[in-house]
Amino acid sequence: MAASAAHGKTLLVYGDSLSAAYGMPERRGWVALLEERLQRERYDYSVANASISGETTAGGLARIAAVLERHKPDIVVLALGANDGLRGLPVAAMKKNLEAIIAQAQKAGARVLLVGMRLPPNYGEGYTQAFERAFGDLAKSRDTALLPFLLEGFAEKTELFQADRIHPAEAAQPAVLKNVWKPLAPLLRKK
């Protein structure tokens, strides 16, 4: 999905496999469903999906400048961090990387929706709490919109996940979009 010159504004989705339609046709993922909804509801936005499966916040930080230059987004949906958590990487480093990505997006004139994630309890209470808290802290300190948990409302429903129990199945993509839409809609209306 690339931004089209026919549209006035660009919405950039910058995430990992959860946004890259891992394990299904790209057109069935929540980002494609978002693009369809924007068109159906006549929002003057095109969608650019620069999500990469396996991406960490360090990888995202390394390529954000070029992605911002290429797409010149008005809104950035930043959905990174899950792979940092699954790999047990330091929360402080993840937070620093996300903050730098947000700062660059804001400096480029984009409004940001930060998408949070939660980890399974087997990572330990201290780590999982610090990980989850990092997203809220960043949203406050950088004055961004926040979706606290991308998989809210269905994370415990195994039938809505692929066999790996990590990636939402095609049937869950409308629920993901519903979660994203709620904090995104006010950003779409701002000038």
CA distance 175 to 173: 5
**What is the pLDDT, as a whole number, of residue 3?**
43
Catalytic residue (choose from 16, 17, 71, 84)? 17
Q: pLDDT digit of tens for each residue in the chain (191 aa)? A: 444 445 489 999 999 999 999 999 999 999 999 999 999 999 999 999 999 999 999 999 999 999 999 999 999 999 999 999 999 999 999 999 999 999 999 999 999 999 999 999 999 999 999 999 999 999 999 999 999 999 999 999 999 999 999 999 999 999 999 999 999 999 998 65
CB atoms within 10 A of CB 65: 12
Given a contact cutoff of 8 angstroms between Cβ atoms, the answer to whether 81 and 95 are in contact is no
Phi, psi of 20 (to 5 degrees): -95, 15
Asked about 17 being catalytic, the answer comes back as: yes
Domains of the chain: 9-184 (3.40.50.1110)
3-state percent helix, strand, coil for the chain, nearest multiple of 5: 50, 15, 35
